[in-house]
A and B are shown apart, each in its own frame.
Chain A
Amino acid sequence: MRSVIAIAGAFVALCICVFLALFVGAAHIAANDILWALTHPSSQSVDARIIWEVRLPRICIGLLVGSALGIGGALLQTLLCNPLVDPYITGVSAGAGVAIAIGIVCGIALPWIPAMGFAAGILAAIAVVALSSRAGRIDTQRMILAGLFVSSFLSAVVTIILTRMEPNGATNAIIAWMAGTLSGHGWNEFNWSLPYAALGLALAICALPALNVMRLGEQRADSLGVAVTQTQWLVVASAALLTSSAVALSGMIGFVGLLSPHIARRAVGGDVRSLMPFAALVGAAIVTIADVAARTLAPPGELPIGALIALLGVPAFFFIVLRAGPERARVSAPSPHSVRGRTQLRGKEIA
């Protein structure tokens, strides 16, 4: 019951963020004009066009990106039993980064760039999974390492591309993508990404019951009847699809995938049936409200939303997670009673 109330509360908060995003923008539009425009989508008035061709697609993209990153983070943190994991550990963002940088350098037409980023993100995720697999099963510890290695390698490629280019519009486009932005995309890009995100969500829902049992550890899940390997692949495929969809649309928006599951875990506990929807709502709300801030804090230009979220996300992360302490923070940090915790504590004593 508590979870249902919390999820309903998060939904209301998200609705408020969406209304705010709808009402705030460079052009001032009165509330009754906005409501009129919403009910008359085919109207050719300037207000209706701004609402339907600028603000609404941008809000929908923000909702998709935020919820995809929130769900991806919740899935991977649960699967890997590690609260410090975010969806980019799959290598998706770095893979997409390389493709987008190469695409921009080679002068590939802009509409193809998100698709290239999506495909390269999926390829990078496959490389990470291949490096972390043993006998068909994903070694969760190796996956974190493989994700770091692949991401570092691909980020280095992007850096080299940037340093070898003359400063011009192309470099600015790559930097803007790396900083994250919701501008410049419309319904076409949204409609292109939506099916992949929906497929990722469907895979996540399939994995839900088994993923809950995986919180007891792989061996116990195995003995409780969970198809561990199948669940791992489902979760990683789902996270990769969700993250790729988000990255292709918005570039690299950090911290949402890390922070949303933490907030969700504190509100509704670790049960993924509640954790996932709550993390999706929190992620969507964070991106939506951050986009409002990015659009309005430094007019007439825009702040990069990824950098803005990171700026606000770091203190928020400290406040919500670290300040709460090991007992109140509902994360799977090793306790002094667990074998993992005892080993670490013993290490500290020896040191």
Chain B
Amino acid sequence: MTAMLDVRDLRYTADSACLLESANFTAHAGSLTAIIGPNGAGKTTLLRAVAGLLPVHGTVRINGDLTAKMPGKERAQRLAFVAADDTSTDDALTVREVVAQGRYAHRRNAFDRSPIHDRVIDAALNDAQLHDLQHRRLSTLSSGQRRLAWIALGLAQETDVLLLDEPTANLDMHHAQRTLRLMRRLADAGKTVLAVLHDLNEAAQCADMVALIDRARLVAFGPPSEILTSERIARHYGVRVDIVTATDGKPRIFACV
């Protein structure tokens, strides 16, 4: 597999507090990496740092090219970041209008109505199962449906690298599973997907690699079977767990109450 996303010595400090300590990892094309860790550990900070949204030290390369030297539009054509929160958004926007903004970096001008944009937007809406809701205003959707709209926005960017912050939060089991399958399908199609996941079973189920973050430090990076051990979970989450291997060969984690 090709090294698509290469992160070296990525650090972020704000108000003299170190919020991300020297993160190093490589994500390959066609891989899905789950970023896990306790609340406040720095998972979203890592994702935002990789996305170029924070003034960081260190380097992020996509297919060998430094993202720091890319113009904003080029970066948005190669890397999509789907944030978890939806503050400061114009509530008058419809779902389709939101997803259409994903084509900003691809449009030649404000009035570029090339049919390819509509095709990509339709595909993104279909992948996120939002086609029937495309003309609804974003503010009238449930938080789970809005989460899917943000994912569709990221898909409409048609990037090689997709960064998703808590893509399954607020989703019911059905939509969460479909979102995980979508992430898997995107990775299998050659994209590099990084997703912050709180549910360790979701990480175990769909990820090729797991990055464990605790106290602003990337403490472990490797396949789920190596990272998701009861000792490690107890050490970093403070929870005793039982881990069994399911029939699909992947670990299943049960917290001991």
Contact = CB atoms under 8 A, between A and B. Distances in A.
A102 B168 CA distance: 61
B244 to A, nearest CB: 37
* B interface residue count range (under 10 / 10 to 19 / 20 to 34 / 35 or more): 35 or more
B91 A225 contact: no
Given A213-B101, A222-B53, A332 B87 contact: no
A224 B81 CA distance: 8
A67 to B, nearest CB: 19
A334 B90 contact: no
Interface in A20-57: none
Contacts of A209: 104, 107, 109-110
Contact of B139 (A217, A219, A271, A335): A335
B77 A270 contact: no
B31 interface: no
A43 B14 CA distance: 71
Interface stretch (B1-9, B21-29, B141-149, B228-236): B141-149
B2 to A, nearest CB: 24
A91 B196 CA distance: 43
Interface string A198-218: 000000000011101101111
Interface stretch (B68-76, B173-181, B200-208, B209-217): B68-76
Interface stretch (A177-185, A298-306, A337-345): A337-345
Contacts of A224: 76, 101-102, 104-105, 153, 157
B80 A269 contact: no
B83 A219 contact: yes
B39 to A, nearest CB: 17
B105 A225 contact: yes
Given A209-B104, A225-B72, A226-B104, A331 B83 contact: no
A163 interface: no
Contacts of B101: 212-213, 215-216, 220, 224
Contacts of A339: 85-87
A81 B88 contact: yes
Interface in A264-308: 265, 269-271, 273
Contacts of B110: 208-209, 212, 273
A219 B53 contact: yes
Nearest to A207: B110
Interface stretch (B56-64, B92-100, B122-130, B246-254): B92-100
Contacts of A269: 92, 97
Contacts of B72: 222, 225-227
Given A208-B110, A225-B72, A225-B77, A338 B91 contact: yes
A316 to B, nearest CB: 20
Contact of A270 (B76, B92, B146): B92
A58 interface: no
Most buried by A among B74, B87, B146: B87
Contacts, number: 103
* A interface residue count range (under 10 / 10 to 19 / 20 to 34 / 35 or more): 35 or more
A223 interface: yes
B124 to A, nearest CB: 13
Nearest to A332: B90
A217 B76 CA distance: 16
Contacts of B71: 225
B90 A81 contact: yes
A217 B88 contact: yes
Interface in A63-94: 78, 81
Interface string A243-281: 000000000000000000000010001110100000000
A166 interface: no
B89 interface: yes
B92 A265 contact: yes
A334 B76 CA distance: 28
B194 interface: no
Contacts of A334: 91
A321 B158 CA distance: 38
A217 to B, nearest CB: 4
B139 A337 contact: yes
B41 interface: no
A170 B142 CA distance: 59
A333 B89 CA distance: 10
B92 A331 contact: yes
B90 A273 contact: no
B51 interface: yes
Contacts of B225: none
Nearest to B103: A224
30 contacts: A78-B90, A81-B89, A81-B90, A209-B109, A210-B104, A212-B104, A212-B110, A219-B83, A223-B51, A223-B52, A223-B76, A223-B83, A224-B101, A224-B102, A224-B157, A225-B72, A225-B73, A225-B75, A225-B76, A226-B72, A269-B97, A270-B93, A270-B97, A271-B97, A332-B89, A332-B91, A332-B92, A338-B87, A338-B89, A339-B85
Given A273-B111, A337-B140, 4 more contacts: A220-B101, A223-B53, A332-B92, A335-B91
Which 5 pairs between the two chains have the least Cβ-Cβ distance?
A225-B76, A335-B139, A209-B110, A217-B88, A225-B105
